Amino acid sequence: MRTGGVSAAPYDSLNSSFAVGDEVAAVTENLARLAARAGVGPARLLFVKQVHGARVVEAVKAAPDTEADALWTDVPGTAVGVRTADCLPILIEDPRGRVAAVHAGWRGVISEIVARTVEQLVERGGRPAELKVAIGPCIQRCCFEVDGELPGRFEAAFGAGVIHHPAGKAKVHLDLPRAVQQTLTRLGVPEGHVVALPHCTMCDGRFFSHRREHGITGRHLSFITCAP
Interacting residues with Zn ion (CB under 5 A): 142-143, 200, 202-203
Query: Minimum distance from CB of 172 to Zn ion (Å)?
Result: 15
| Contacts with 225 (C-beta within 8 Å, 6 or more apart), sequence order | 38, 39, 40, 77, 78, 79, 99
**Which of 118/202 has CB closer to Zn ion?**
202
Query: Minimum distance from CB of 101 to Zn ion (Å)?
Result: 23
**Which of 203/216 has CB closer to Zn ion?**
203
Query: Minimum distance from CB of 136 to Zn ion (Å)?
Result: 14
Report which residue type is found at 197.
L
Report which residue type is found at 18.
F
Spatial distance between the Cα atoms of 177 and 58, rounded to a whole number of angstroms: 24
**Which of 60/143 has CB closer to Zn ion?**
143
Query: Minimum distance from CB of 202 to Zn ion (Å)?
Result: 5
Report which residue type is found at 156.
A
**Which of 143/187 has CB closer to Zn ion?**
143
Query: Are the beta carbons of 83 and 221 closer than 8 angstroms?
Result: yes
**Which of 81/151 has CB closer to Zn ion?**
151
CA-wise closest residue to 91 among 201, 180, 207, 217: 180
Determine if residue 132 is left, alpha or beta; phi over 0 gives left, psi from -120 to 50 gives alpha, anything else beta: beta
Query: Minimum distance from CB of 142 to Zn ion (Å)?
Result: 4
Spatial distance between the Cα atoms of 125 and 55, rounded to a whole number of angstroms: 20
Decide the pairing of beta strands 132-135 and 194-196.
parallel
What's 8's DSSP letter?
A: P
**Which of 134/142 has CB closer to Zn ion?**
142
Query: Are the beta carbons of 212 and 202 closer than 8 angstroms?
Result: yes
What's 49's DSSP letter?
A: B
Query: Could you report how far apart the first and last alpha carbons of the chain are, in Å?
Result: 26
Query: Minimum distance from CB of 42 to Zn ion (Å)?
Result: 33
Query: Minimum distance from CB of 217 to Zn ion (Å)?
Result: 15
**Which of 142/196 has CB closer to Zn ion?**
142
